[in-house]
């Protein structure tokens, strides 16, 4: 059995922020984050080994996670008050894409930190907003 504390994870903040929420939107984000996290681990191994396999899968997985995050946030917030966050998520996703295409492991790791923070921040904002609506 794998030890979760020893498993590589590239999206710890996102996974934590998505948590075990009961609503469909959060579950979708959590599922997409898990898929993207696995793809990132596979891509990281490819980068370390000097291979190119798994790169497109990662880019597609990140795009799916960004789309799920957008859907969870809601179009009205995402395009208005959340536009700063939308730009941060898109810029971080683009930075990862560049690092993958260049085969730059250090940039890959740094870019993932920014992406993880950007997506997790959106999830926290949405959860806080939803929490304020229900009180």
- Identify the CA nearest to 73 among candidates 128, 116, 9: 128
**Rounded Cα distance, 123 and 130, in Å:** 10
**Rounded Cα distance, 43 and 69, in Å:** 22
Contact present, 9 and 52 (Cβ < 8 Å): no
Domains and CATH numbers, the chain: 23-134 (1.20.120)
Span 19-35, average pLDDT: 87
Supply the pLDDT for residue 50: 82
Statement: residue 2 has pLDDT above 70: no
Backbone angles phi, psi at 58, to 5 degrees: -65, -45
**Rounded Cα distance, 120 and 58, in Å:** 18
User: How far from each other are the two terminal CA atoms of the chain, in whole angstroms?
Assistant: 42
Span 6-20, average pLDDT: 84
Statement: residue 113 has pLDDT above 50: yes
Contact present, 38 and 19 (Cβ < 8 Å): no
Q: What is the pLDDT of residues 50-83, one digit of tens each?
A: 887 778 899 999 999 999 999 999 999 999 999 9
**Rounded Cα distance, 35 and 60, in Å:** 10
Span 118-131, average pLDDT: 89
* Entry pTM: 0.89
The confidence band for 3, taking pLDDT boundaries of 50, 70 and 90, is very low
**Rounded Cα distance, 70 and 128, in Å:** 16
Alpha-carbon dihedral angle through residues 27, 30, 31, 32, given to the nearest 10 degrees: 120
């Amino acid at each position: 059995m794998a030890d979760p504390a020893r498993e590589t994870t590239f999206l710890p903040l996102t996974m934590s922020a998505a948590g075990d929420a009961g609503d469909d939107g959060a579950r979708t984000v959590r599922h997409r984050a898990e898929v993207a996290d696995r793809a990132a681990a596979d891509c990281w191994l490819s980068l370390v080994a000097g291979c190119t396999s798994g790169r497109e899968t990662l880019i597609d997985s990140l795009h799916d996670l960004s789309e799920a995050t957008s859907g969870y946030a809601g179009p009205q917030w995402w395009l208005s008050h959340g536009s700063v966050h939308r730009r941060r998520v898109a810029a971080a996703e683009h930075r990862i894409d560049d690092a993958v295409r260049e085969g730059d492991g250090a940039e890959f790791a740094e870019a993932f930190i920014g992406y993880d923070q950007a997506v997790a921040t959106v999830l926290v904002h949405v959860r806080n907003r939803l929490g304020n609506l229900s009180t």
